[in-house]
Amino acid sequence: MADELIGKTIGGYEIQELIGRGGMATVYRAQQVSMKRVVAMKVLPRQYIHDDTYLQRFHQEVKIVSQLEHRNIVPVYDYGEFEGQPYIVMRYMSAGSVDDLIAQGPLEIETIISILEQIAPALDYAHSKNVLHRDLKPSNVLLDDDGGAYLTDFGIARILGEPSAGITTQGVVGTPSYMSPEQAQGLPLDNRSDIYALGVMLFEMATGRRPFESDTPYSIAVMQVTTTPPSPRQFNPHLSFAVEEVILKALKKPREERYPHAVALAEALKRATNQPITSIHDTQPAMVRPMPVASASPPSPQPMVVVPPISYTPAPPSQSMTPNPVASYSRRRRPRRSANAWLNAAVGGLIGCGLLVVVAIVVLLLISAFSTSGGTDVIPTRTPRPTSALGDLGIRMPTLDPISRAARDTAVPQPTATDTPQPPPGTPTVQPVGVRSSVSLSPDVKAIGGSLVYFAERGDATHLYRLDLSTGTETQLTFGTSDDAYPTVSPDGRLIAFQSNRDGDSDIYVMDMGGDNLRQITRNRITDRTPAWSPNGDWLMFASDTRADGTFDLYRARPDGSDIQPVLQNDMRLSSPRWSPDGRYVVFTSGGADDAATWEIRRLDLAGDLVTALTDNSVKDWSPVYSPDGRSILFLTADGTDGDSALARMDADGGNASILYDGPGYEWGAAFSPDGRYITFTSQAGEREEIFVMPAAGGEALQVTSGGGQYAAWVPS
């Protein structure tokens, strides 16, 4: 469908071409009629002009950038409104973004230094004006044709000391892959939080990948807080030890151990590569360069200004938005990920996850000495690779793996008839019936009907909720200070299985649909996660970190906690298992424990012990789930163009893969409705994650929750 603004002249600017569409704005290439100058015009979409959250963010960006007149910050030329739609006119950058460069692989160290020594003083300059960027990443550094690098997208930046109600949500904003530990926890920030993000950027430029990758934004934020960054030289052995040391110092968890400001980081990198150090600190606008005077003596170098740490307290919550659906298209193979510079700039402020729960998770992970990790990859239409011998894939079936079984039995006390698992002291056996509240749902959502069970972080912990789509009645099912997550509903609709850290580490629990009769299924000192019901409800399958090293195995247990037994183990990260409707197959995610780029989707034939790879690592694929008729598989892929994930669909044998939905946020937690007509999934809406529903064949995504919601499961009627 043609864009309604293309061809129109707005405020003296002729709209010529759509550049990108993001969660907060649509960006066009335009020409300033009076000066014949090509510009970029950023316009707030019409559907958000009555949303105070996005209006405030739009105005905030104008206010901040107008105060930051630096040679390496993308300048704003103009600002106005057209038929109620505010717009910003900015300099047009034709060379793309740093993200585009990284998509081709690691950058040469000279290129990295050139970029860093330009944006470092610009970042320090912003800090000197009491502005925190809060979303620094490669897609927010744009390039011109002469090698110039420029900071952009201050849509979620903060001017310290000024109120910003409605700009943030739950105190956490930004992109999880680049969040500092303190930002992921919703703690007060200072300039060193941006330094951490710059360190993540440096890691990515040097290695071609981010230090932390996982299947959900939630998991990535946990890793930012708890997990030691991997060695950059592990991914790029050409890096020197000195350069690696600089990168890892920028990624220190305690902020006081990082560089005090961006220029210090840039100069440390130059020293590590034996390049001469000249003062590159610059807190002046410096858009006008003085002409040289023959008789004048050359000026002495300007001393470097040390920018002291500045801090602020996160602001209160705001409203949310609905991502824009895109049409289905056949999947194409590509090097890593595509990135349109202005699209990424427009999406810059999108992904904040509402992740204050990370504080509780930190304690959990430190106790269990477990670091969440993982990732996946995708494939175009392809022929699956059946394997007649499991040894070809390095997979050892349970009957041939007594050592693993013995290790698990030692770690997991098996319940008996007289030894029913009991919750820890202070945990009620019968959960109270939740407080009911009303959720405002559109008529289209109510017409879908049915109920969803999901988890949401609303306070200091995550709890489970049930929502009746017909009435908009939401019921809280779990309470307390523990984190309950990843619910799945039994085929008869009577039971909910989920993971929780009630006893200090993540175990599997089951309760009745009303929230009572809680019982613990696994009891150990390792992490058990993502349970899934068998089609007849006789088994629960889950992923278990048996060796406490991130290489999860697949296990199953009876719903009463008995008969725990291994299903599949091969020293890889096996996760997110889902049964086929006929009970014959299990699809799951498989890959390296700490390398998301290796993730792919595999299928286990429970009858014949045959493992088949359904995707081929061309890109990251993960979290598969069968359709109710068993003919197709819904999964997540990094092959989209917006955000870091998209919903995709393929035949049950791995063929005919195509993108189903690719919104501006990070899509995950997808599931079919019992009748197969609809799909529910989690995606970014504003600065938090919400639940959406859409037709299974593709189409418009309708937002369901407004107070946060993740990983919804349909309740069979």
How sure is the predictor about 5, in pLDDT bands with cuts at 50, 70 and 90? Answer: confident
Catalytic site residue from 135, 377, 468, 662 = 135
Domain end, chosen from 33, 58, 91, is at 91
> 77 and 176 share a domain?
no
Domain end, chosen from 75, 91, 107, is at 91
In tens, the pLDDT along 90-108 reads: 899 888 889 989 988 999 9
327 located within any domain: no
Average pLDDT over residues 640-655: 84
Active site residue 52: no
> 556 and 694 share a domain?
yes
pLDDT of res. 411: 42
> 81 and 104 share a domain?
no
Assign residue 406 the CATH number of its domain: 2.120.10.30
pLDDT of res. 550: 84
> 47 and 112 share a domain?
no
> 533 and 646 share a domain?
yes
> 533 and 402 share a domain?
yes
pLDDT at 369 over 50: no
Assign residue 223 the CATH number of its domain: 1.10.510.10
105 located within any domain: yes
Average pLDDT over residues 229-237: 93
343 located within any domain: no
Average pLDDT over residues 398-403: 32
- 258: DSSP letter: S
297 located within any domain: no
- Cα torsion 555, 561, 562, 566 to 10°: value is 10
Domain span at 501: 373-715
> 79 and 108 share a domain?
no
Lowest mean pLDDT among 283-297, 536-550, 564-578, 612-626: 283-297
pLDDT of res. 366: 42
> 45 and 123 share a domain?
no
Average pLDDT over residues 241-260: 94
Domain end, chosen from 91, 107, 130, is at 91
> 40 and 103 share a domain?
no
pLDDT of res. 641: 64
289 located within any domain: no
355 located within any domain: no
CB 525 within 8 A of CB 368: yes
> 441 and 466 share a domain?
yes
340 located within any domain: no
Q: How far apart are CA 417 and CA 574, in angstroms?
A: 31
Q: What is the spatial order of strands in the sheet that 85-91 belongs to?
A: 9-10, 13-21, 26-32, 37-43, 85-91, 76-82
H or E stretch covering 220: helix 217-226
> 384 and 504 share a domain?
yes
In tens, the pLDDT along 131-158 reads: 888 889 998 899 988 889 999 887 666 6
The overall pTM is greater than 0.75: no
pLDDT of res. 285: 42
> 384 and 255 share a domain?
no
pLDDT at 503 over 80: yes
503 located within any domain: yes
Assign residue 56 the CATH number of its domain: 3.30.200.20
Q: Is the dihedral of CA 5, 9, 11, 13 positive or negative?
A: positive
Tally of structural domains, the chain? 3
Q: 697 Cβ partners below 8 Å, 6+ apart?
A: none
Please give the backbone phi and psi of residue 588, each rounded to the nearest 5 degrees, phi first: -160, 170
